[in-house]
């Protein structure tokens, strides 16, 4: 696919900073979707000096086609994620304006969370931390995201 800027999807990653290493590992596995011009990925580490971080995060979430929720106890424990990011993501899901995908990074209780009704990755909602080889988990996640991206691009 040639990147003409019109068919690229915007992907927002919501995560706890305690899970930054796992977020970075996932980002590496999304490289082919980036290199083929299918997605742009944004997370709060792309904020630059002088930006109003809360407003920029909300703007990026509002413009995202896909919102990844990187699930762990730290994610569930974050007040900012709970009140701002998760609430907005689930609102966009309910409105049908974005696809929200929970990605289970580490074991935690999440069955009563608002996102529990959504199909999670990796397959079977098996936490990444349960995989002996984390690349197996991230490859499964990247494949699931690629399928979603390709499906959404066909609808555009």
> What are the tens digits of pLDDT across the range 60-77?
889 999 999 999 999 999
The pair phi, psi for residue 52, each rounded to 5°, is -80, 105
The percentage of the chain sitting over the pLDDT mark of 90, rounded to a whole number, equals 81
**Does the pLDDT value for residue 51 go beyond 90?**
no
**Does the pLDDT value for residue 79 go beyond 60?**
yes
* Cβ atoms of residues 101 and 39 within 8 Å: no
**At 45, is the secondary structure helix, strand, or coil?**
helix
The predicted-structure confidence for 8-47, as pLDDT tens digits, reads as follows: 999 999 999 999 999 999 999 999 999 999 999 987 776 6
Q: Where are the domains of the chain?
A: 9-155
The pair phi, psi for residue 91, each rounded to 5°, is -65, -45
pLDDT at position 58 is 83
Q: Cα(98)–Cα(43) distance, rounded to whole angstroms?
A: 16
The CATH code that applies to domain 9-155 is 3.40.50.10140
Structure tokens at 32: 């082919």
pTM over 0.75: yes
Q: Cα(72)–Cα(96) distance, rounded to whole angstroms?
A: 25
Reported as type and span, the H/E element at residue 103 is strand 99-104
Task: Single out the residue of 60, 70, 69, 85 nearest to residue 10, CA to CA.
Answer: 60
The predicted-structure confidence for 112-125, as pLDDT tens digits, reads as follows: 999 999 999 999 99
Residue 55 or residue 92, greater confidence: 92
Confidence of residue 56 (pLDDT cuts 50, 70, 90): confident
* Cβ atoms of residues 65 and 99 within 8 Å: yes
Residue 150 or residue 7, greater confidence: 150
């Amino acid at each position: 696919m040639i990147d003409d800027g019109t068919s690229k999807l915007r992907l927002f990653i919501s995560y706890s900073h305690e899970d930054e290493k796992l977020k970075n590992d996932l980002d590496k596995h999304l490289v082919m979707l980036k290199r083929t011009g299918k997605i742009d990925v944004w997370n709060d580490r792309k904020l630059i000096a002088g930006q109003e971080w809360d407003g920029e995060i909300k703007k990026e979430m509002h413009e995202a086609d896909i919102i990844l929720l990187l699930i762990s106890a730290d994610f569930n424990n974050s007040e900012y994620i709970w009140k701002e990011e998760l609430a907005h993501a689930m609102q966009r899901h309910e409105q049908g304006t974005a696809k929200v995908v929970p990605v289970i990074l580490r074991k935690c209780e999440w069955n009563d969370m608002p996102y529990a009704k959504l199909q999670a990755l990796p397959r079977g909602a098996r936490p990444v931390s349960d995989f002996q080889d984390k690349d197996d988990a991230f490859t499964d996640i990247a494949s699931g995201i690629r399928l979603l991206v390709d499906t959404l691009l066909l609808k555009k």
